[in-house]
């Protein structure tokens, strides 16, 4: 994975990445992956108990799954790269807008450090 693709991944606030894919994103951006990012769900009811339409929806609702929530990964990577306590996403209510702000800040950081 190239850096540009990884930065694009940071702009997604509504995805659930496989652990392997999340590790690729981290590697492309030079950030060490943390196992603390991994979420374990037994099934759909465990992942989204209230059936919130904006909640997490699994591809296979009756199977257990491990993965990484995209906004959590975006926040983690952004704070590692920018050496901040609070990522740009903390200024937004929407997950998508917050993730896009993170990606923009990381993109700007790499543009400045060329």
pLDDT at residue 10 tops 90 = yes
| pLDDT of 114 above 80 | no
Rounded alpha-carbon distances, angstroms, from residue 102 to 1, 11, 47, 49, 75: 19, 7, 25, 28, 7
CA distance 24 to 33: 9
Please compute Rg for the chain using Cα positions: 14
Mean pLDDT score of the chain, rounded to an integer? 94
pLDDT above 90 coverage of the chain, percent: 81
Q: What are the residue boundaries of the structural domains of the chain, listed by start?
A: 3-38+67-112
| pLDDT reading at 67 higher than 90 | yes
């Amino acid at each position: 994975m190239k850096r540009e693709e990884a930065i694009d991944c940071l702009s997604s606030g509504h995805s659930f990445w496989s652990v392997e894919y999340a590790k690729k994103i981290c590697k492309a951006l030079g950030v060490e992956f943390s196992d603390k990012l991994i979420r374990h769900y037994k099934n759909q009811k465990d992942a989204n108990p209230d059936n919130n339409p904006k909640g997490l929806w699994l591809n296979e609702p009756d199977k257990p799954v491990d993965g990484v929530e995209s906004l959590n990964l975006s926040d983690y990577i952004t704070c590692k790269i920018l050496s901040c306590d609070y990522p740009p996403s903390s200024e937004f209510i929407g997950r998508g807008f917050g993730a896009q702000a993170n990606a923009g800040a990381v993109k700007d950081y790499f543009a400045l450090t060329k």
